[in-house]
Chain A
Amino acid sequence: MSSESLILFFIVGAVFVGAVLIFSSLVPPKSKNPQKSEAYECGIPTTGITWLQFNIGYYLFAILFLVFDVETVFVFPWAVVMKELGMIAFVEIIIFFVILGLGLLYAWKKHALIWE
């Protein structure tokens, strides 16, 4: 069993990653100043530490939003082929909507939509 291809695989992988890292550190223009290493926050100097605790509510809203964002992504390809697939596709997307709707109802009942 020859293992040239395997060794080559590792070498090419290591060389490629190494070369990219070295190249990107050599080529770009460098300028170092204290402002550059600061955290960016709307263009004004930051106050306090950035490792703050923040309200979990933001997170919850983002997730709920994301679910319906992804839903649209699923519905677009469905809409494109809907005419060819006919009734079955329609029933399937209705099931999909019902399950998503149940999820939203659940979030509603658990008071996830109320900003506290």
Chain B
Amino acid sequence: MGLEQYLLMRHELVLTLITLIILIAELCIKGDNSRKIRPFAIILFFIATVVGFLPLGEGSLFGGMFQTNGMILIMKNVLNIGVLIIFIQSYTWLGNEENKIKVSEFFLLMLSTLIGMDFMISSGDFLMFYIGLELATIPIASLAAYERTKTKSAEAGIKLILSSALSSGIMLYGISMLYGTTGSIYFSEVAKSLHSSNLQTLAFIFFFSGMAFKISIVPFHLWTADVYEGAPISVTSYLSVISKGAAVFIFVIMLFTVFRAMTAMWQDVLYITSVLTMTIGNLFAMRQKNLKRFLAFSSISQAGFIFLGMIGGNELGMTSVVYFMLIYIFSNLGAFGVVSAIANRTGKENRDDYDGLYLTNPKLSLLMMIALFSLAGIPPVAGFFGKFFLFTAAAKGGFYMLVLIGVLNTIISLYYYLLVVKAMFINKSETPIQYFKSDGYTRLGLIICFAGIVFTGLFSFVFEYIRVYAFGV
């Protein structure tokens, strides 16, 4: 029993530490501190991200409440990379006149949610899981209402807190039934006593509904578009990438460990919801004119594809889900970065406003095109490989029909992604968005996304790295 065993929760400790440091800095710096806090927080978080990549063994703490292994470590690192990009991208927006007085709150709340997600991912029992989940949800609602003078932003906050309260309630009901039938809240104990009795099936359905709210799977997706549209763009990208990613990670861990005994049952559930999610997400995305709503529905349909990786229940599936999330972070943040850069400068976020963008801002439109191609899954960019591995994992599990539906949905999704590309490259406009030069931080964020999209796709060792690190093969 030495202190070094606490190194196992290194991610959480470092994040807590930098959260406190930023809070103290906010208390100490007098007057207008936005200029100092922003780079300070980004540098601190960069250090935390680098520290996260140091190798670490596996083990558990607090009598099994907290556990970690190679896979969990990779997941936390993937989330860290995403948050770092979001911090860099939101630099300019945080410098706005109305945001200046609450800059440090942005970082504090984001880091708190990240701590919650890290605890959630490495939870070893349902209690720790639930605390992590709530810590990851409640600050997000206040972030969604960050621009509190705007009605839509306040509405987004209210909608988010109400729908997540409902989903938490349903999930807690499911957890209580699991506890009732197995007599334990520890994952390892629960896994041993599960035997697909009816009450346990019901408990899983309730638990699944709660998780589906977070991942925005179709029957539970209704909050997504409104919240994504109303929240500030940085928070929207956080919601669509990091929140969703953390929920996907813990869900895949739970399916593969806790609910291992009920595999046949949850495969049915995942099959139906995955088909629904892909199709309905796609159909709604076609009709959206507002790019934030459009990206919201596109992220719903991406969640359906992620289920393809889980459904096989094999190691390849778990690796491909993490790999896909990494690519998804880069491509979605790339798309959101362009939308945010243009909205910051002109306030326009509709598809029609992007007509003729290529003639005035060629670099931005090229990046947007690559990000959208990656989301759609067109071969040279990374998104193709992400989807390819997801489909392989599903096919390995014997779900050929589902793979076919997935491929069909990819083609449907191509239509609406290309609509945006067409608007930028082919459509002519009387009043295109004028040429502008973004500042350094925006460009840095976009360059990281661009490099990520190209790099993770071209070099296969990223996938191998995840697989070897996670399973040691």
Contact = CB atoms under 8 A, between A and B. Distances in A.
A3 B196 CA distance: 12
Contacts of B149: none
A1 interface: yes
Contact of B199 (A1, A6, A99, A102): A6
Contacts of B199: 5-6, 9
B54 interface: no
A6 B198 contact: yes
A106 B23 contact: yes
- On chain B, which size bracket covers the interface? 10 to 19
A109 interface: yes
Contacts of B448: none
A51 B27 CA distance: 37
B65 to A, nearest CB: 15
Contacts of A102: 20, 23-24, 27
Contact of A105 (B27, B198, B201, B202): B27
Given A99-B20, A102-B20, A3 B198 contact: yes
Contacts of B26: 106, 109
B198 A5 contact: yes
Nearest to A103: B23
Contacts of A105: 27
Interface residues of A, number: 11
A106 B27 contact: yes
Contacts of A3: 198
Interface string A1-29: 11101100100000000000000000000
Contacts of B23: 102, 106
Main secondary structure of the interface of A (DSSP, over half): helix
Given A99-B20, A102-B20, A109 B198 contact: no
Contacts of B27: 102, 105-106, 109
B119 to A, nearest CB: 16
B448 to A, nearest CB: 32
Interface in A41-92: none
* Residue among B23, B24, B198, B201 with most chain A CB within 10 A: B198
B134 to A, nearest CB: 15
A1 B23 CA distance: 56
A105 B23 CA distance: 10
Contacts of B24: 102
Q: Could you say which of A2, A3, A99, A106 has the most chain B C-beta atoms within 10 Å of its C-beta?
A: A106
B460 interface: no
A110 to B, nearest CB: 9
Contacts of A6: 198-199, 201-202
Interface string B302-335: 0000000000000000000000000000000000
Nearest to B23: A102
B431 interface: no
Interface string A100-116: 00100110010000000
Contacts of B198: 1-3, 5-6, 9
Nearest to B24: A102
B197 interface: yes
B20 A5 contact: no
Nearest to A98: B20
Contacts of A99: 20
A90 to B, nearest CB: 15
Interface in B22-53: 23-24, 26-27
A6 B24 CA distance: 54
Nearest to B202: A6
A99 B196 CA distance: 44
Contacts of A2: 198
A3 B27 CA distance: 60
A9 B177 CA distance: 12
Nearest to A102: B23
B16 to A, nearest CB: 9
Nearest to A9: B199
Interface in B167-208: 196-199, 201-202
A2 B198 CA distance: 8
Interface string B355-395: 00000000000000000000000000000000000000000
Contacts of B201: 6
A65 B218 CA distance: 41
A100 to B, nearest CB: 12
B5 to A, nearest CB: 13
Nearest to B265: A1
Nearest to B30: A109
A61 B24 CA distance: 22
A8 B91 CA distance: 57
B131 to A, nearest CB: 14
8 contacts: A5-B197, A5-B199, A6-B199, A6-B202, A102-B24, A102-B27, A105-B27, A109-B27
The 10 A-B residue pairs with the shortest CB-CB distance, nearest first, are A6-B198, A5-B198, A105-B27, A3-B198, A102-B23, A109-B27, A106-B27, A106-B23, A6-B202, A5-B199
Interface of A: 1-3, 5-6, 9, 99, 102, 105-106, 109
Given A1-B196, A3-B198, 5 more contacts: A5-B197, A5-B199, A6-B201, A102-B27, A106-B27
